[in-house]
């Protein structure tokens, strides 16, 4: 049987799982560093400035932001498969640098490489999943990538507890090394995957328009106007503002549990592991109800949880009790902003610039998180974490309101139907935005 035949015989779920596993190594690379941040700080003698730079350029923030911006453009021009085949090879090089790091510059370079490749791959993979998923189960398929994202932290934090205890920094190096093995497995599986049907059909139409002299080049000006601008506002309003608190939890939380909550390293990792276990439960809820009930109502309920959870950290440190930290851990885990963002950013933009637009919103999100990540250690060192927590509550509240007011409900619709309904009144055939949509559902 030929490789091409294997490609097109893959089931929708196998395509989704193979593409979505990038989320495991994305989250794994973030939390592996978080689990050993105190040890790396001691090993390299990092000051607050160096920690801020590391956090700002990691796969959690700036590195992924730039990678998404570049990867989105490449993804729309050369295809989803082009990006997710080559990005993982570079990712493995970056992780290897981290594993072998003997000084801060080497460690930082590894983080930058990992961030760039993760950003590019996430855009390609999330776009591919939405385009290949059956319309009636799109939320379920998109949610599966989030399961992989949450599973990464659960595995890494759970394994880090004994490894850090027994081997110290070597244990954290081992956690990074396992990501190379997983990435190699994913890369091999992806060699058997097809290109996105939606993208392939759009390129056929694009060639016709080029031949007729009617083709219009995609620009960010095209994305930042009309209905597309409203979609950008929705995605950034929900995801960017929420992700500032999520990135804080993803990278700094063990450090915060230890230095603000006065917990041991082991207990902080137990709480982080529990948090992501709850995130998996929340994603299962999203997958079950996302294609069945009104999505705005679903978001309104679960989008409020981060705002409520972060209130705990606005209390004076001496008032913090272990049960309060457990309450934060559990309630914060029920947030659904990332699940909804993946769904909306993949289905609400036309196919011609779907990945470019998603890459742009992902860039804005991770860039904002990068700036915040640089500021957090300085805030903790100067005015204390309470000030940061108050800001996080406010941003989470705005994120909740934007989604509760603007969230669409496109359950069961094909991507073509969504594009026609949202853009048909303001686009003509020459834009290759409506007619480029394929009939795949």
Question: What's the pLDDT at 438?
Answer: 41
Question: What's the pLDDT at 426?
Answer: 58
- Contacts of residue 42, defined as CB under 8 A and 6 or more positions apart, other chains included, come to none
Q: What is the mean pLDDT of the chain?
A: 87
Question: What's the pLDDT at 27?
Answer: 81
The least confident of 265-269, 350-354, 386-390 is 265-269
Quick: pLDDT tens for 229-281: 999 999 999 999 999 999 888 778 888 998 899 888 889 888 988 998 899 99
Tokens coding 332: 């914060």
Quick: pLDDT tens for 3-34: 444 445 678 898 898 888 888 888 888 778 77
Instruction: Tell me which residue has tokens 């319309």.
Output: 135
Q: Answer whether residue 428 shows pLDDT above 70.
A: no
Question: What's the pLDDT at 433?
Answer: 44
| DSSP code for 353 | G
Q: Is 424 in a helix, a strand, or coil?
A: coil
For the chain, what are the domain ranges?
9-431
Question: What's the pLDDT at 425?
Answer: 64
Number of Cβ within 10 Å of residue 268's Cβ equals 25
Q: Are 410 and 248 in contact (CB under 8 A)?
A: no
Cα dist from 174 to 32, 116, 163, 166, 180, whole Å:
10, 22, 8, 12, 10
Quick: pLDDT tens for 293-304: 999 999 999 999
- Contacts of residue 403, defined as CB under 8 A and 6 or more positions apart, other chains included, come to 234, 237, 238, 296, 299, 300, 303, 337, 340
Cα first-last separation, the chain: 27
Question: What's the pLDDT at 201?
Answer: 87
Model confidence at 432, in pLDDT bands (50, 70, 90)? very low
Question: Could you give phi then psi for residue 424, rounded to 5 degrees?
Answer: -60, -30
pTM: 0.85
Model confidence at 439, in pLDDT bands (50, 70, 90)? very low
Closest Cα to residue 74, out of 92, 59, 63, 86? Answer: 86
Question: What's the pLDDT at 434?
Answer: 42
| DSSP code for 196 | P
Q: Answer whether residue 189 shows pLDDT above 60.
A: yes
Closest Cα to residue 114, out of 177, 57, 186? Answer: 57
- What percentage of the chain has pLDDT greater than the value 70? 93
* Distance, CA of 365 to CA of 60 (rounded, Å): 10
* Distance, CA of 259 to CA of 41 (rounded, Å): 14
- Contacts of residue 372, defined as CB under 8 A and 6 or more positions apart, other chains included, come to 61, 244, 247, 248
Question: What's the pLDDT at 34?
Answer: 76
- What percentage of the chain has pLDDT greater than the value 90? 50
The least confident of 181-195, 262-276, 418-432 is 418-432
- Mean pLDDT along residues 192-215: 82
Give the residue with greater pLDDT, 251 vs 226: 226
Model confidence at 350, in pLDDT bands (50, 70, 90)? very high
Q: Answer whether residue 437 shows pLDDT above 70.
A: no
Q: Is the alpha carbon torsion for 286, 140, 24, 397 positive or negative? A: negative
Model confidence at 436, in pLDDT bands (50, 70, 90)? very low
Q: Under CATH, what is the fold of the domain 9-431? A: Growth Hormone; Chain: A; (1.20.1250)
Angle at CA of residue 262, ends 256 and 267, nearest 5°: 80
Give the residue with greater pLDDT, 8 vs 403: 403
**DSSP notation for 231-280:** HHHHHIIIIIHHHHHHHHHHHHHHHHHHHTS---HHHHHHHHHHHHHHHH
Q: Is the alpha carbon torsion for 281, 287, 291, 295 positive or negative? A: positive
Question: What's the pLDDT at 252?
Answer: 83
Closest Cα to residue 374, out of 47, 116, 117? Answer: 47
Quick: pLDDT tens for 23-81: 888 888 877 877 788 899 889 998 878 887 887 787 777 888 899 999 999 999 899 88
């Amino acid at each position: 049987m030929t490789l091409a035949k294997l490609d097109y015989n893959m089931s929708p779920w196998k395509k989704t799982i193979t593409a979505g596993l990038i989320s495991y190594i994305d989250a794994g690379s973030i939390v592996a560093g978080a689990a050993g941040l105190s040890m790396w700080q001691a090993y390299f003698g990092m000051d607050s400035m160096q920690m801020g730079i590391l956090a700002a350029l990691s796969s959690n923030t700036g590195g992924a932001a730039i990678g998404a911006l570049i990867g989105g453009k490449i993804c729309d021009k050369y295809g989803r498969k082009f990006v997710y085949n080559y990005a993982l090879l570079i990712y493995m090089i970056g992780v290897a640098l981290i594993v072998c790091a003997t000084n801060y510059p080497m460690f930082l370079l590894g983080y930058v490489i990992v961030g760039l490749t993760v950003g590019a791959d996430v855009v390609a993979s999330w776009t591919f999943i939405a385009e290949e998923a059956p319309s009636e189960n799109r939320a379920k398929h998109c949610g599966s990538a989030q399961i992989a994202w949450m599973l990464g932290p659960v595995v890494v934090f759970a394994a880090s507890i004994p490894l850090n205890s027994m081997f110290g920094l070597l244990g954290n190096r081992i956690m990074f090394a396992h990501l190379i093995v997983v990435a190699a497995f994913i890369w091999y599986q992806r060699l058997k995957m097809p290109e996105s049907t939606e993208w392939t059909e759009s390129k056929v139409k694009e060639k016709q328009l080029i031949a007729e002299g009617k083709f219009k080049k995609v620009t960010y000006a095209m994305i930042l106007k009309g209905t597309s601008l409203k979609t950008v506002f929705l995605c950034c309003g929900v995801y960017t503002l929420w992700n500032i608190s999520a990135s804080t939890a993803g990278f700094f939380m063990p450090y915060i549990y230890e230095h603000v909550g006065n917990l041991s390293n082991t207990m902080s990792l137990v709480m982080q592991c529990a948090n992501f276990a709850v995130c998996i439960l929340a994603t299962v809820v999203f997958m079950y109800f996302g294609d069945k009930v009104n999505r705005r109502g679903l978001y309104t309920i679960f989008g409020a949880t981060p705002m409520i959870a972060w209130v705990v950290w606005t209390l004076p440190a001496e008032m913090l009790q272990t049960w309060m930290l457990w309450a934060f851990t559990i309630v914060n885990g029920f947030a659904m902003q990332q699940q909804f963002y993946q769904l909306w950013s993949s289905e609400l933009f036309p196919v011609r610039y779907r990945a470019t637009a998603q890459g742009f919103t992902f860039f804005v999100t991770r860039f904002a998180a990068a700036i915040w990540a640089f500021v957090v250690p300085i805030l903790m060192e100067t005015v204390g974490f309470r000030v940061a927590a108050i800001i996080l509550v406010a941003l989470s509240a705005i994120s909740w309101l934007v989604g509760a007011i603007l969230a669409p409900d496109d359950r069961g619709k094909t991507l073509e139907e969504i594009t026609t309904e949202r853009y048909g009144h303001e686009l003509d055939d020459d834009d290759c935005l409506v007619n480029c949509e394929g009939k795949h559902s």
